[in-house]
Amino acid sequence: MASVREWVKHRKAKILLAQLSSADPGARTAAADSLCALGDCALPDLFSALENGDAHVRATAAQVLGKSRSSIVVAPLLGRLTDPDSNVRVAVARALTEIGGSAITPLIGCLSDHNPDVRRGAVTILGEIADLRATTHLIACLKDDCVTVRQAAVEALGSIRDPRAVPALTALLRDWSPSVAQAALTALNRVGTNESLAALRAWHDEKTAVR
């Protein structure tokens, strides 16, 4: 009897997945909600949907997977960090953020990926999750070869607000990249500790003296 119920669920999942490509946003949302209700039995089909040629289907599949908050969906979602469609990338980022803690270790693993877009995406999501376990790894990213990764790491550290990042962020106030230096200024202000605010005052005094 249980096997029959599972078959019915899998069959329903396939029907709902077909509705994810509907031109009607309401129909897509309803299908996504129903897929969430099906639970784990829908996961294999949702993983396949991440590879669908329709960006709407990929984005909605990512959204549903995020709602599962299961660690087993993290790896398939990470595979779409560089999706060609920006809406899909946003949906993947939101899904991984929603999953939270169980996504931390896999995301940290992406920080050494050869593709800077993957590194930057992982850095940004770690900042959104704002887990202190990421701090030391994000500090290491401040030396990344790609300036956009470095800037994203600064912004992520500002979101996490871990005082351990203050010395590294302070050094970047004088970075050769204006965007990184500006991001460091904002991040130190967001950290808001006595040490970070003192660093900002010292930097401001130095700039004033030069003038």
CA distances from 199 to 70, 177, 195 (A): 41, 19, 6
CA 125 – CA 56 distance, rounded (Å):
21
| Fold of the domain spanning 111-211 | Leucine-rich Repeat Variant (1.25.10)
Per-residue pLDDT 10s for the chain (211 aa) are 445 456 556 666 677 777 777 777 777 777 777 776 766 777 888 888 899 898 988 998 898 899 888 889 999 999 999 999 999 999 999 999 999 999 999 999 999 999 999 999 999 999 999 999 999 999 999 999 999 999 999 999 999 999 999 999 999 999 999 999 999 999 999 999 999 999 999 998 887 876 6
The pLDDT of residue 1 is: 45
Q: Which two tokens stand for residue 83?
A: 């999706």
Q: Where are the alpha helices (DSSP H) in the chain?
A: 2-19, 25-38, 43-49, 55-68, 74-78, 86-99, 104-110, 116-129, 135-141, 147-160, 166-171, 178-191, 194-210
Tell me how far apart the alpha carbons of residues 72 and 78 are, in angstroms, rounded to a whole number. Answer: 11
The pLDDT score that the predictor gives to residue 211 is 62
